Structure 1
Amino acid sequence: MTIRLALYQPDIPQNTGTILRTAACFGLAVDLIEPAGFTLSDKALRRAGLDYLERAALVRHASWEAFQAARASSGGRLVLFTTRASATLDRFQFAAGDTLLFGRESAGVPDTVHAAADERIKIAMVDGARSLNLAISVGIVAADALRQLGGLPVGVRF
């Protein structure tokens, strides 16, 4: 069992396309928690994802509640990446089965979602920096999680 990526109501189709492309290249599944701020047929999403979108393991959830119901039987921690966290990525230990949750580009996640997370982590940055682009953040976190857990999932090769 490896990690999963989860996007909470993403706003920007280019970021989601880039994340799906990254996930396809790393052999990771993506949970998309709707509603999104665009349709999945959006031209910008397709442009960013290129031909990798067909290779992406995407699971769509109609709501936060539907996502939580689907997760209930899978076990594993829900790890939220948020600028509101006190713990930092460089000190965090990932575990197989973790679901890595990322919020909306415009607003993060609501307090109820924040409270539901088992862990809350932020990416350390220099003083004065507010946040990174969502797709960049997902790439940093996914690469570090895979490194910690011993590399790419079974069946993925270089």
Structure 2
Amino acid sequence: MSDTAEGGGRRRGRNETEEERADRMWQELIQEVRVAQMGVQILFGFLLTVVFTPKYDDLSGTDQAIYLATVILGASATGALIAPVSLHRLVSGRRVKPQAVQWASRLTLLGLVLLLATTTASLLLILRVATDDGSVPWLVTAVVAWYLLCWFGFPLWLRHRHTTR
């Protein structure tokens, strides 16, 4: 494959058909989803056990509400991050791979947002139970800011910087 376009300038990107691009993007997406699925499944599995511990009954009403919200968020994140597999299986062979990749990408992004919410709520609950220090909201805010920077801020900055020239 040549690095130059017809006019002799440098070519950016790949020379691939829509189907080839969809195949490549699907493989990349599945690798990304595997990482996120592992994290959300471990977190969700841990959350499911908390209600069966003696400590759960000692939680305040507020902490129990935070716990229930966290479990619901974790279940939702798990669903969104597993959805691309189901989507692929149900539309495989139907000649809609480019559209399937687009929807799977959206579900993955939604899953990451829900994973962020689950992690935030988990951290809030753990810090509230571990300490009654007034710095808990500040610590949680700092960690959420870090996640936002790592997961969304830096990638969006990089995308903007290298695709708007």
TM-score band (shorter)? Answer: under 0.3
Structure having the higher Rg: 2
**What's the TM-score, normalizing by structure 1?**
0.25
Choose between structure 1 and 2: higher strand proportion. 1
Higher relative contact order (CA 8 A, sep 6+): 1
Choose between structure 1 and 2: higher helix proportion. 2
**What's the TM-score, normalizing by structure 2?**
0.24
